[in-house]
């Protein structure tokens, strides 16, 4: 399989011939930081443009088509507008928390990039408890949202933040159960180990019907956790005028906006790793010839292809289903998804113990 792992190792060895070990580590940390920032900027531009085109396709219209060929520079123009726009802070807000909230949300999203395997041998931090790390750190984003709602001194912002807190805390349970279903099958919390366990087939196929149920629950839960429609009650424009970021403008608003799309990428990347093999090509058992052909496709293409496929699925949700009421949203989680996910986890545990999976 083509991989850039060899290139990265060669670059590391070359740096080692020029600098001592401490300086090599500092240089590599700086390059990783630049990569993370560049990836954030690129994903923000690409995903916003993609969402506009997907919504236009579903609604039978063209979407952005004026700024640049096929409107590809429309999101760049919007970014420049947000950069030069005045960052106004209303009176009687809690200044420190008001300014800190968007950075908390953004830093949380950046931390979640660390254990993600972007390609074969390409991971910022190959930690043995990657799944646990992601589950723990992802919970911090709700703190930034609550800070924004409270500090804004606005009843709509506070109501949106409280809705978001209840929504994220509720749906984290079902998402966690779905993730645990795959952890039970693999017996490891390391994301690279989970990918390696799918060398003969992805868990969405090898795990029988419980794996499919876990995937459906996971997609619904993470859509709610990222405050995406039809679960966007935290920022419902028709009733809350924007929710927790009503009082934000300029780059502070842009950070919230960007963090939402980065979180979509991250949850879809995790879904691709858990259920669709991450960067692992599509392999079928012992079909050596077929598997060898699949190995010609670079591992990074597999990873980003699967991730963007799930992103398109979540975007389709937004432009297809109507927004739920808050009572419907919580009923869906506590009365349906959570009991189903708990029973599904028990069935998956039985399958793992008996070795009934493929």
Tell me which of 273 and 322 has the higher pLDDT.
Answer: 273
Flag the least confident range among 52-56, 237-241, 341-345: 237-241
Among 240, 228, 229, 248, residue whose Cα is nearest residue 148: 248
Is the previous residue joined to 269 through a cis bond, with omega within 30 degrees of 0? no
Residue 214 has pLDDT above 70, yes or no: yes
pLDDT computed for residue 237 by the predictor? 63
- Is residue 70 domain-resident? no
- Is residue 47 domain-resident? no
pLDDT computed for residue 240 by the predictor? 59
Q: What share of the chain has pLDDT > 70, as a percent?
A: 96
Which domain covers residue 270, as residue numbers?
88-354
Cα(306)–Cα(311) distance, integer angstroms: 9
Average of per-residue pLDDT across 28-50: 88
Q: What share of the chain has pLDDT > 90, as a percent?
A: 32
- Is residue 339 domain-resident? yes
Measured CA distances, 245 to 15, 49, 58, 236 (Å): 44, 22, 28, 11
3-class secondary structure, 117 = strand
Partners of residue 123 on adjacent β-strands: 117
Partners of residue 122 on adjacent β-strands: 119
Residue 276 has pLDDT above 70, yes or no: yes
Average of per-residue pLDDT across 223-241: 76
- Is residue 158 domain-resident? yes
**pLDDT (tens digit, 9 = 90+) per residue, 308-337?**
999 999 999 888 888 888 888 889 999 999
Selection from 40-49, 151-160, 289-298 with the highest mean pLDDT = 40-49
Cα(230)–Cα(332) distance, integer angstroms: 12
C-alpha dihedral sign at 102, 105, 111, 112: negative
Q: What is the mean pLDDT of the chain?
A: 87
**pLDDT (tens digit, 9 = 90+) per residue, 180-201?**
999 998 988 999 999 988 888 8
Distance of CA 72 to the CA centre of its chain: 23
Average of per-residue pLDDT across 102-123: 89
Measured torsion, CA atoms of residues 115, 12, 197, 177, in degrees rounded to the nearest 10: 0
Measured CA distances, 331 to 86, 220, 239 (Å): 41, 13, 20
> pLDDT band at residue 339, thresholds of 50, 70 and 90?
very high
- Is residue 309 domain-resident? yes
Which residues have C-beta within 8 Å of that of residue 323, sequence separation ≥ 6? 229, 230, 231, 232, 233, 236
Tell me which of 223 and 290 has the higher pLDDT.
Answer: 223
pLDDT computed for residue 24 by the predictor? 83
- Is residue 17 domain-resident? no
Alpha helix (H) ranges present in the chain? Answer: 5-18, 21-58, 74-84, 95-111, 130-138, 141-151, 155-186, 191-196, 203-206, 208-225, 237-240, 250-276, 288-294, 299-318, 326-331, 338-354
> pLDDT band at residue 340, thresholds of 50, 70 and 90?
very high
- Is residue 36 domain-resident? no
Residue 229 has pLDDT above 90, yes or no: no
Q: For the whole prediction, is pTM greater than 0.85? A: yes
Cα(323)–Cα(336) distance, integer angstroms: 18
* Domain count along the chain: 1
C-alpha dihedral sign at 25, 31, 34, 35: negative
3-class secondary structure, 99 = helix
> pLDDT band at residue 300, thresholds of 50, 70 and 90?
confident
Cα(118)–Cα(279) distance, integer angstroms: 7
- Three-state SS annotation for 196-218: HCCCCCCHHHHCHHHHHHHHHHH
Flag the least confident range among 90-99, 168-177, 272-281: 90-99
- Is residue 49 domain-resident? no
Q: Residue 277 is encoded by which pair of tokens?
A: 């093999």
C-alpha dihedral sign at 310, 112, 273, 27: positive
């Amino acid at each position: 399989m083509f991989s850039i792992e060899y290139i990265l190792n060669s670059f590391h060895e070359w740096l080692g011939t020029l600098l001592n070990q401490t300086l090599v580590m500092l240089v590599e940390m700086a390059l990783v930081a630049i990569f993370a920032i560049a990836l954030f900027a690129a994903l923000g531009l690409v995903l916003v443009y993609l969402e506009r085109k997907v919504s236009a396709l579903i609604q039978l219209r063209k979407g952005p088509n004026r700024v640049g060929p096929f409107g590809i520079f429309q999101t760049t123009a919007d970014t420049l507008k947000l950069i030069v726009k005045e960052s106004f802070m209303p009176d009687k807000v809690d200044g420190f928390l008001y300014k800190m909230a968007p950075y908390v949300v953004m830093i949380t999203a950046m931390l979640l990039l660390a254990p993600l395997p972007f390609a074969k041998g390409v991971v910022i931090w190959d930690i043995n408890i990657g799944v646990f790390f992601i589950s723990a750190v992802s919970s911090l984003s709700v703190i930034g949202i609550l800070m924004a709602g409270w500090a804004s001194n606005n009843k709509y912002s506070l109501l949106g933040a409280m809705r978001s807190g209840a929504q994220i805390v509720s749906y984290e349970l079902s998402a966690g159960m779905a993730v645990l279903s795959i952890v039970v099958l693999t017996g490891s919390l390391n994301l690279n180990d989970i990918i390696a366990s799918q060398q003969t087939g992805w868990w969405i196929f090898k795990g029988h019907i419980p794996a499919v149920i876990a995937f459906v629950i996971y997609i619904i839960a993470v859509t709610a956790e990222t405050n995406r429609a039809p679960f966007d009650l935290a920022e419902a424009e028709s009733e809350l005028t924007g929710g927790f970021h009503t009082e934000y403008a300029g780059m502070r608003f842009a950070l919230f906006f960007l963090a939402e799309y980065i979180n979509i990428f991250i949850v879809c990347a995790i879904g691709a790793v858990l259920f669709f093999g991450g960067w692992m090509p599509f392999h079928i058992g012992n079909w050596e010839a077929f598997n060898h052909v699949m190995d010609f496709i670079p591992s990074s293409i597999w990873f980003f292809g699967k991730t963007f496929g799930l992103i398109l699925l979540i975007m389709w949700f937004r432009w297809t289903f109507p927004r739920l009421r808050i009572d419907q949203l919580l009923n869906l989680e506590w009365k349906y998804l959570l009991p189903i996910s708990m029973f599904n986890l028990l069935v998956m545990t039985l399958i793992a113990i008996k070795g009934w999976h493929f």
